[in-house]
Amino acid sequence: MKRIAGCGDLYSGLLCSCQGKGTLAQAKATTMTFLSTLGIVLVIVGSGISVLFWVPQIVNRPKLKEMLGQRYPMLFFVYVANGPLLLFVGLFLLLRF
């Protein structure tokens, strides 16, 4: 990455970007860092939800089935949307960026 006069490191480079003196490479690096961090967070959250859902002592599925009745299959939709889907989106972000 090319240095700019007065912008010695990444943090001061970000400040220079905000002042209109930054380069496109610095903006790209910032975006890639943000997306990588977001990917890590999504992987952790998705993995955590997946583990929590399948540990019988944490989620009492018979009790949930009794409480939800006919809406019980909707629980799996919510699980997939919040567990494996977040995990795969996070992995995609990590591998892509």
pLDDT digits (tens, 9 = 90+) for 26-53: 878 788 889 899 999 999 999 999 888 8
Q: Is residue 19 part of a domain?
A: no
Q: pLDDT grade, residue 11 (50/70/90)?
A: very low
Q: Is residue 21 part of a domain?
A: no
Domain holding 65, by residue range, is 33-96
Q: Is the pLDDT of residue 16 over 80?
A: no
Q: Do the Cβ atoms of 51 and 43 come closer than 8 Å?
A: no
How high does pLDDT run on average in the chain?
80
pLDDT of residue 19: 55
Q: In whole angstroms, what separates CA 79 from the centre of its chain?
A: 16
**Contact residues for 49 (Cβ-Cβ < 8 A; gap 6+):** 79, 82, 83, 86
How many domains, the chain? 1
Specify the pTM.
0.65
